[in-house]
């Protein structure tokens, strides 16, 4: 083991000092890291005090789910950490009470370690039922200002679904951003040039404000919401004033909204029907490094499937209304993902809240890598030729 990896190892195994360790990305030319038999994108390690004693808690994230295991501090924890360190992660970020270690493995496999001392010591959080399971605790001022929580700081029964939705999206945003920044795909923001996040079709800006609340504790960030409704902008400006934060709200259509500078992160949560395509089109136009879009209803392709000649032998897929709607959802998002890949993005399609809570739970996560998109272009063309549909995003990109 290299000296750099050994430093990371002892920082993680110092159970009294560890705040959090994060492994992300995979080394160039190496397989995807595997934990407990599952290919994972990210692993988080922290210390938890359980009845059975102090444990290292390892939470690994694959494309759709988190999986947690606990390892008694001592031999079991050391074995778990050694197994993680043996995996070809590209980055390790370890926060201890007094230091931050950042290890990056270069394309040639050389470990580069940067260690900095914290200005102020932080106290690790070791509770098992940690409030940190919630990124935004129920009594967070932002949740009160948005009317999700009541004056006593409890989420209102009628707002539970919104709370869960926003939490899960912010969780995915945090994970995606951490990974993309560690890989150098998203720049490191500064106080003079904060991370620019735009939320397209923001409505009452639950996600915009929640993202600001969570991210602004970690890095300099400036959020902008775009919506056609003047009423939304007025409401959101009042919430921003209540919270005492700077945020911009632009009234206008997603397709035409003017921003002073291109954003680093584009969000779109349940922008209606083809408004998601408009959002993705803008993200591509801005060459946004990170895009998270959770589509809403998919009427456009569903309507086209009603009249198009369905290729043999797939007529059964569109004959019944309910199946046609579901298939249209799948086809629409598959075509969107193919177009994003074609344009040089790495794309994951994941579920961001359990389907028991809402059927509108698909999220397209796209990171701009500049990868060659010719294979995706071929797949897209083939799919289009077979089904005879004209997806809005394709029209925007190819026939504007
Ligand atoms: C279902 S709401 C979702 C609001 C918010 N993103 C959320 O998840 O709470 C969709 C929002 O998108 C806005 N919208 C739909 N099409 C739009 C367009 N083409 N341009 C701008 N805003 C649009 C609507 O006004 C509405 O506020």
Structural domain spans, the chain = 3-131, 134-398
Please work out whether the CB of residue 91 comes within 6 Å of at least one atom of ligand 1: no
The predicted structure's pLDDT at residue 132: 45
Q: What mean pLDDT value characterizes the chain?
A: 90
Q: Is residue 131 very low, low, confident or very high in pLDDT (cuts 50, 70, 90)?
A: very low
Mutate to test the pocket of ligand 1, among 228, 274, 359 (most ligand atoms within 8 A of CB): 228
Q: Tell me which of 51-55, 350-354, 393-397 is least confident.
A: 350-354
Residue the block writes with tokens 């993902």: 337
Q: Is residue 355 very low, low, confident or very high in pLDDT (cuts 50, 70, 90)?
A: low
- The 3-state DSSP class for residue 384 equals helix
CB neighbour class for 198 (10 Å; exposed up to 12, middle 13-18, buried from 19): buried
What gap in Å lies between CA 62 and CA 80, rounded to an integer?
A: 18
The predicted structure's pLDDT at residue 27: 87
Closest C-alpha among 301, 289, 300, 298 to residue 365: 289
Residue the block writes with tokens 């932002």: 142
Q: 26-40 b/e with 16+ CB inside 10 Å = b?
A: bbeeeeebebeeeeb
What gap in Å lies between CA 335 and CA 391, rounded to an integer?
A: 7
Nearest atom in ligand 1 to the alpha carbon of residue 206 is 9
**How many whole angstroms from 324 Cα to the centroid of ligand 1?**
24
CB-based contact 95:20 (threshold 8 Å): yes
Peptide bond into 371 cis (omega under 30): no
Q: Is residue 203 very low, low, confident or very high in pLDDT (cuts 50, 70, 90)?
A: very high
CB-based contact 272:296 (threshold 8 Å): yes
The predicted structure's pLDDT at residue 312: 86
What gap in Å lies between CA 255 and CA 248, rounded to an integer?
A: 17
- Our CA angle for 131, 213, 369, nearest 5°, is 105
**How many whole angstroms from 226 Cα to the centroid of ligand 1?**
8
**How many whole angstroms from 314 Cα to the centroid of ligand 1?**
34
Please work out whether the CB of residue 296 comes within 6 Å of at least one atom of ligand 1: yes
- The 3-state DSSP class for residue 365 equals strand
| Token couple for 30 | 């190496």
CA distances 9 to 6, 55, 80, 83, 100, Å, are 5, 16, 11, 11, 13
Q: Is the dihedral of CA 7, 9, 13, 16 positive or negative?
A: positive
CA distances 50 to 131, 282, 293, Å, are 15, 48, 37
Give me the mean pLDDT over the 30-35 stretch.
92
Nearest CA to ligand 1 atom 27: 203
**How many whole angstroms from 332 Cα to the centroid of ligand 1?**
18
Please work out whether the CB of residue 232 comes within 6 Å of at least one atom of ligand 1: yes
The predicted structure's pLDDT at residue 357: 55
Each residue's pLDDT tens digit, 209-242: 999 999 998 899 999 999 999 999 999 999 999 9
**How many whole angstroms from 371 Cα to the centroid of ligand 1?**
31
Give me the mean pLDDT over the 127-141 stretch.
72
Please work out whether the CB of residue 38 comes within 6 Å of at least one atom of ligand 1: no
Q: Is residue 76 over pLDDT 50?
A: yes
Superfamily of domain 134-398: Vaccinia Virus protein VP39 (3.40.50.150)
What gap in Å lies between CA 244 and CA 235, rounded to an integer?
A: 14
Please work out whether the CB of residue 272 comes within 6 Å of at least one atom of ligand 1: yes
Nearest CA to ligand 1 atom 23: 201
- The 3-state DSSP class for residue 56 equals strand
Nearest atom in ligand 1 to the alpha carbon of residue 272 is 15
Nearest CA to ligand 1 atom 26: 203
**How many whole angstroms from 253 Cα to the centroid of ligand 1?**
9
**How many whole angstroms from 153 Cα to the centroid of ligand 1?**
27
Nearest atom in ligand 1 to the alpha carbon of residue 201 is 12
Nearest CA to ligand 1 atom 1: 270
Please work out whether the CB of residue 253 comes within 6 Å of at least one atom of ligand 1: yes
CB-based contact 182:104 (threshold 8 Å): yes
Q: Is residue 111 over pLDDT 80?
A: yes
């Amino acid at each position: 083991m290299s000296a750099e990896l050994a430093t990371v190892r002892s920082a993680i195994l110092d159970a009294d000092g560890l705040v959090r360790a994060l492994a992300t990305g995979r080394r160039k030319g190496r397989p995807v890291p595997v934990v407990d038999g599952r290919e994972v994108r990210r692993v988080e390690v922290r210390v938890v005090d359980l009845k059975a004693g102090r444990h290292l808690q390892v939470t690994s994230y694959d494309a759709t789910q988190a999986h947690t295991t606990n390892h008694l501090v001592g031999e079991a924890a050391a074995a778990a950490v050694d197994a993680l360190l043996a995996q070809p992660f590209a980055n390790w970020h370890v926060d201890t009470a007094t230091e931050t270690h950042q290890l990056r493995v270069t394309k040639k496999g050389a470990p580069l370690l940067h260690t900095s001392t914290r200005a102020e010591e932080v106290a690790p959080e070791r509770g098992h039922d940690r409030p940190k399971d919630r990124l935004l605790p129920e009594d967070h001022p932002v949740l009160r200002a948005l009317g999700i929580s009541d004056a006593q700081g409890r989420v209102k029964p009628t707002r539970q679904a919104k709370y869960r939705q926003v939490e899960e999206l912010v969780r995915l945003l945090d994970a995606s951003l951490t990974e993309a920044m560690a890989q150098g795909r998203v720049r490191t923001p500064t106080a003079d040039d904060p991370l620019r996040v735009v939320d397209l079709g923001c409505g009452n800006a639950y996600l915009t404000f929640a993202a600001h609340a969570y991210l602004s504790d970690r890095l300099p960030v400036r959020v902008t919401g775009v919506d056609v409704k003047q009423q939304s902008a007025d409401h959101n400006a009042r919430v921003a004033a209540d919270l005492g934060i700077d945020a911009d709200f632009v009234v206008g259509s997603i397709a035409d909204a003017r921003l002073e500078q291109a954003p680093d992160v584009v969000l779109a949560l349940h922008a209606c029907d083809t408004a998601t395509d408009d959002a993705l089109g803008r993200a591509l136009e801005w060459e946004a490094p990170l895009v998270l879009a959770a589509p809403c209803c998919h009427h456009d392709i569903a309507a086209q499937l009603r009249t198009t000649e369905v290729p043999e032998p797939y007529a059964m897929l569109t004959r019944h209304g309910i199946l046609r709607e579901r298939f249209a959802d799948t086809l629409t998002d598959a075509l969107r993902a193919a177009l994003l890949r074609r344009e040089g993005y790495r794309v994951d399609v994941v579920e961001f809240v359990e389907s028991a809570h809402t059927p509108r739970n698909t999220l397209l996560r796209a990171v701009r890598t500049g990868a060659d998109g010719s294979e995706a272009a071929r797949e897209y063309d083939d799919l289009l030729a077979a089904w005879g549909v004209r997806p809005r995003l394709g029209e925007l990109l190819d026939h504007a």
